[in-house]
Amino acid sequence: MTPSIADRFGVTDALFSLKCLAAAALAYYLALTFQFPKPFWSVMTAYIVASPMTGAVHSKALFRLSGTAIGAAVAVILLPNLRGSPEFLTLALAGWLGLCIYLAVIDRTARAYMYLLAGFTAILVSMPIIDRPEAVFTTAVSRVQEIALGFFCAGLVHSLVFPRSVSDRLLARVDAIVRDAERWSIDTLDEAGTVRLARDRRQLALDIAELHQLSIHLPFDTGRRRLRVGAVRALQQQLAILAPLAAAVEDRLHELRGEGHADARLDRLAAQARDWLDRDDGGYREEAATLRRRAQALEPEVGPDMAAPDLLKLGLLVRLGELIEAHCHCRDLRRQLHAPSRAAVSTDVPALLGSAVPRALHEDRGMALRSGLNAVATVCIAVAFWRLTAWPSGDGAVMIAAICCSLFAGFDQPAVLLNKFLAGWVIATFAAIAYTFAILPRVTEFGVLIAVLAPYLLVGGSLLARPPRALMATGLLLGLLNTVGLNEEYAEHFPTFINAAIAQLAGAVLSLVMLRIFSTVGAGRRAERIVQASWRDIGRFDAPGAPAPGAWIGVALDRIGLLAPRLVATGRDPGAALLDGLNDLRAGAALLRLGKLERSLRGDAASALAAARQAVAAHYRAQAAARMAITPPKMLESTIDHGIRTLAACEPAHAREGVLALLTLRRVFFPHGHPPGRPPAPDGILDRAA
């Protein structure tokens, strides 16, 4: 999307930074007014939840406040009950943090903030008073109040002062995302080059992921116009459906045209569909219906004597009709999102909204477990060092280590990201020395204090609005605010200050070392784990409890979206790997459709489908066990071909559905094999189909 003039000249970033400063100043003023014990927690919180979009501020605030309250409650429960056993208390707090990080890494939604805050808040409350457990309730209540005040001030300022709505941002992206999807289909029908098609596939996967991330914050948006979450979810589902359909059309059209056997009627229909996608006028629904009728009229009849070329044409025409329908639904939902009222813009919209469900996401439980264990080990080591050395400021090292383990859990290269955060924290430490001992002793009024802090905070806030600099900016801001300690009165002692600053840096360095030890899985290995997760899933699709095809497509597309940036990070061309991912998606969806069809069949047809499903699932299980792609066995080809012959002789409705799904499997595994059916005519009619 082309940046606005305000974005190009930094006006948007500057305004965001001013709002952050205003929220922090308001939080500090109110915390002093209410005589909170540690007002700097309110100030830091105002920056922690800051986001350019108002809805994101509110969602982060809600989940983080919930997590803070849960973490404080855990501290109130654990500290008094384990006061006589510091070892068990340490293990309990570390285990709680590890569990919360495990859940947060699995969740991958805004709700993950709640788990993270619940984990390290228990440590933030407990560590400073570990030898005074009688003060735990008062301390817990104070932390919750201070943090809640920061949330309130941030939400208030970002909502009232030039708010940026999530809905407005999402509407701007919806038009571009729908157009990206249409571009892939246009390039498919034009037989664009491999590079362009690979780019189109990657872009659609990333677009769907972006749409999901924006939709998370929609329920918390405060703009004048709030979009329906159901409409966004419905659009996500239709975009997800487009991916396997476009891939199937691309595959069959390429095969037909490559052999020179696409007849004039098919070429004319493809050209008409391409022209329809390239236009966006008011009569798109009527033209889409006409195109689908033409595709159905050209479908060859399914039967036991069906010629091999007709199998390929059948697959192309059916998938092309479904592709046109899905694009029509995407346009309907785009219009629905732009409509000023909630009245349905077409007769299909109510059904689309009614079928919308939350999008299923990929879960890597192994990486989540590794992140949780890293946090447990880090906290235990930090506490042991603190207690054995009797370091007066050692609790600060424990708290910072817990925070760093939480913030950077689940990333491919967390140590690299933590380095950026740590660099900002080191700079902030030197800035804090200058402020604490050269500037703040001369400040006696609230307004002057905000004025002297403003230059530093404004620069940090503007960097916070820029994703490439956000991690360093977070270290710059939190490092200064935490180290300076904005309390009611100035009372700093240099040795105490330096001791605390060193402890905080030591905690960050310890977490960095532990992340390097535990997080040895790079982007390349994470990409392999994502692919293998799909293989394991498909390997279970022949057993009871398989998911619905729509849910599987959502998970598979999410994995493709996760795969693309990791392949780029390793320097590999993502095109071939993403195409393989789409083929796995198609194979899984076909397997699930066959499972549903099998339940309505009896006799030889049901047995043939069961054998095909079991053979395909066994192949994917073998790949998952070997952790590498395996050449499909000849037995798999003969099993699929037997299923096609058997299904072709069934009742027409069942025959059509079953043959299409089996043909998809054949094209995925044996794109150049000879399918069952009458042999091709001597004039060179296509002898491959699936």
CA distance 312 to 317: 9
Instruction: Read off the pTM.
Output: 0.84
What mean pLDDT is predicted for residues 133-151?
A: 92
**Mean pLDDT estimate for the chain:** 85
Q: Assess whether pLDDT exceeds 80 at residue 420.
A: yes
The most confident of the ranges 2-16, 483-497, 624-638, 674-688 is 624-638
Q: Assess whether pLDDT exceeds 80 at residue 224.
A: no
CA distance 95 to 310: 61
Q: Assess whether pLDDT exceeds 50 at residue 682.
A: no
pLDDT at 679: 44
What mean pLDDT is predicted for residues 470-496?
A: 83
Q: Cα angle vertex 88, ends 83, 91, to 5°?
A: 125
325 vs 108 pLDDT, higher one: 325
**pLDDT tens-digit profile of 5-40?**
455 546 888 999 999 999 999 999 999 999 999 999
CA distance 283 to 591: 36
pLDDT at 462: 93
Could you tell me the pLDDT band of residue 651, with boundaries at 50, 70 and 90?
A: confident
Closest-CA residue to 57 (of 132, 153, 146, 138)? 153
The 8-class DSSP code of residue 571 comes to T
Task: State the CB neighbour count (10 A cutoff) for residue 48.
Answer: 21
CA distance 620 to 629: 9
Helices and strands per DSSP (H, E), number in the chain: 26, 0
Say which CATH class 166-354 falls into.
mainly alpha
pLDDT at 618: 94
484 vs 569 pLDDT, higher one: 484
Could you tell me the pLDDT band of residue 223, with boundaries at 50, 70 and 90?
A: low
Beta bridge partners of 307: 678
136 vs 672 pLDDT, higher one: 136
CA distance 101 to 452: 37
What mean pLDDT is predicted for residues 643-653?
A: 81
pLDDT at 681: 39
Cα 262 to Cα 252, 315, 617, 677, 685: the distances in Å are: 10, 13, 33, 19, 10
Helix axes 194-216, 166-189, angle to 10 degrees: 160
Range from 9-23, 106-120, 662-676 carrying the lowest mean pLDDT: 662-676
pLDDT at 449: 93
Query: Residues 533, 426: contact at Cβ < 8 Å?
Result: no
Task: Please report, as a single letter, which amino acid is at residue 152.
Answer: F
What mean pLDDT is predicted for residues 142-164?
A: 88
pLDDT at 684: 30
Task: Please report, as a single letter, which amino acid is at residue 639.
Answer: T
Cα 18 to Cα 14, 22, 43, 152: the distances in Å are: 6, 6, 14, 17
Could you tell me the pLDDT band of residue 310, with boundaries at 50, 70 and 90?
A: confident
pLDDT at 225: 60
pLDDT at 199: 80
Both tokens of 361, joined, read: 């996401």
CA–chain centroid gap for 678, Å, is 47
The most confident of the ranges 168-177, 421-430, 440-449 is 421-430
Helix axes 603-626, 634-648, angle to 10 degrees: 150
The continuous run of DSSP H or E covering 333 comes out as helix 308-338
Both tokens of 161, joined, read: 């002062």
Domain range list for the chain: 13-164+364-518, 166-354
**pLDDT tens-digit profile of 444-458?**
899 999 999 999 999
The continuous run of DSSP H or E covering 678 comes out as none
CA distance 519 to 93: 22
CA–chain centroid gap for 118, Å, is 21
375 vs 248 pLDDT, higher one: 375
344 vs 449 pLDDT, higher one: 449
The structure tokens 């967390």 sit at 414
Cα 75 to Cα 133, 140, 313: the distances in Å are: 10, 8, 66
Tell me, letter by letter, the H, E, C secondary structure of 187-205. HHHCCCCHHHHHHHHHHHH
Dihedral sign computed on CA atoms, order 402, 111, 540, 235: negative
The structure tokens 């109130």 sit at 76
386 vs 49 pLDDT, higher one: 386
Q: Cα angle vertex 663, ends 661, 664, to 5°?
A: 65
CA distance 2 to 527: 31
The most confident of the ranges 242-246, 259-263, 512-516 is 512-516
351 vs 684 pLDDT, higher one: 351
Both tokens of 298, joined, read: 């050209």
pLDDT at 588: 92
Collapsed DSSP state (helix, strand, coil) of residue 342: coil
Q: Assess whether pLDDT exceeds 80 at residue 303.
A: no
Q: Assess whether pLDDT exceeds 90 at residue 115.
A: yes
Query: Residues 690, 670: contact at Cβ < 8 Å?
Result: yes
Q: Assess whether pLDDT exceeds 70 at residue 614.
A: yes
Task: Please report, as a single letter, which amino acid is at residue 281.
Answer: D
Q: Assess whether pLDDT exceeds 70 at residue 315.
A: yes
pLDDT at 261: 62
**pLDDT tens-digit profile of 56-73?**
777 778 888 899 999 999
Both tokens of 172, joined, read: 């701007």
Burial (0-12, 13-18, 19+ Cβ within 10 Å), 305: exposed
Beta bridge partners of 678: 307
Closest-CA residue to 92 (of 379, 313, 354)? 379
What mean pLDDT is predicted for residues 536-561?
A: 86
